Amino acid sequence: MQFRHYKGGLYQLVCVATLESDLSEMIVYTAPDGSYWTRPRDVFFQMIEVDGTLVQRFTPVE
């Protein structure tokens, strides 16, 4: 599934993983350049303030 970052980039969600140290959920995703990244699930889907407006950090692209 593709997601658009609030700054405009498109990223592909690879999987949901479990962090071994505390069993929290992590999102594994890939950038257009082929690099892989992880963020805690809560951070990936969190609402953030941009220019005084709340927006999703990553929004699903249909």
Per-residue pLDDT at 62: 86
The domain total for the chain is 1
Gyration radius of the chain's alpha carbons: 12
Domain coverage including residue 9: 2-61
Say how far apart CA 30 and CA 10 lie, in whole Å: 9
Averaged pLDDT in 10-residue chunks for the chain of 62 residues? 96 98 97 97 96 96 91
CATH number at residue 14: 2.30.30.320
Q: Residue 16's pLDDT is what?
A: 98
